[in-house]
Amino acid sequence: MSLLYLLLGLGGLLIGAELAVTGSLALAHRWRWPTWVTGVILLALGTSLPELFVSGASAPAHPDLALGAIFGSNAINVGGVLAMMLVLQSRGGIPLRQTSLVALIMLTLGSVISFWAFGSTEIPAWAGPTLMAMYLALFFSSVLSGTPSTPDDPEAGAPGEGLATTLPRAFAITGAGFAMLALAAGWFLEGALAIAEALGWGAGFAGYLIAAAGTSAPEFFTSYKAMRKGAVGAVFGNVLGSNAFNLLVVGGVVCFRAGVPLNPEQVKPQLWVNLAFCLVLLLPMIFRRSGGRRTKTGVLGGLLLIIGYIASAWWIGSAPQ
């Protein structure tokens, strides 16, 4: 029965994410947003809702599982989703132009602040408001720094082609996706907890591996879909935006809703892994070529990221449960 709940929850999360993303892309297409802004804001919002609902539902009684889902999702987004897109896009690479440096800085600062927020048994009162405020700064800076797409932009509106073009229809599709995500999150959480208990896993590792893998599935399918449509610039934006939303918004929700003390023995290794994968996202911007040329990473970088994720999962699994 627990496996059935897990599969039903995963299916519902995928369907809900597809609806939410479809509506979000339609809005982005109507507003003529650049693909990287679409990835950072709308795609990230739609694909990160599973993490929001799963972690929000589990935080009162199982905050370690909620944090495991956040940090595990961030690790999979970089070491799994972005890595696989790099491998699949081996010839052209992934362009990293125009991505908001402010968004990367906020994600990095949030990863550092998380050591103080989640590194002990009690979450400090300032942690939740601080993380939420940082996401608001990221959101507005990304919107303001992105200029409207032009018709001759090869990626302009690409993710939204053929989708709903009227605002009421786009909002209806998005709302239906949100509702499906909320329903499926409960099924998925119940199945994940039952399987973790049967395997003797701690809540933190169950969140890092099982819950994170399921809730990150929408990021993979969305990134692949965007890449196939030619909107490759949205891939990096989707991963960056999803990680920022997970850490700053979902992490903030966990701060407000956590009802029992944390287990630092489980959480601290995940904090280090989260910071490491965050720095991976920051490095390409530091070494970006001058003169407006694109910086691209390819198949070797993807393989190294996959190896890094496997190593991190082994380290988290060997930590005290």
> Which residues is 94 bridged to in the sheet?
297
Of the candidates 211, 274, 253, 215, which has an alpha carbon nearest to the alpha carbon of residue 46?
215
Give the pLDDT score at 294.
Answer: 47
Rounded alpha-carbon distances, angstroms, from residue 42 to 37, 52, 156: 8, 15, 15
CA atoms within 13 A on the CB side of 72: 31
Give the SS3 label for residue 296. Answer: strand
CA-angle at 11, arms to 306 and 67, nearest 5°: 55
Give the pLDDT score at 78.
Answer: 92
Give the pLDDT score at 149.
Answer: 46
Q: What is the pLDDT of residues 9-29, one digit of tens each?
A: 888 877 887 787 778 777 777
Do 135 and 249 touch, CB atoms closer than 8 A?
yes
Give the pLDDT score at 153.
Answer: 43
Residues 6+ positions from 35 with CB-CB distance below 8 Å = 149, 155, 156, 158, 159, 226, 231, 232, 233, 234, 237
Of the candidates 70, 137, 129, which has an alpha carbon nearest to the alpha carbon of residue 101?
137
Give the pLDDT score at 286.
Answer: 56
Give the SS3 label for residue 95. Answer: strand
Which positions of the chain have pLDDT values less than 50? 149-162, 164, 289-294
Of the candidates 222, 317, 220, 250, which has an alpha carbon nearest to the alpha carbon of residue 22?
222
The domains of the chain, with CATH numbers, are 36-147+203-318 (1.20.1420.30)
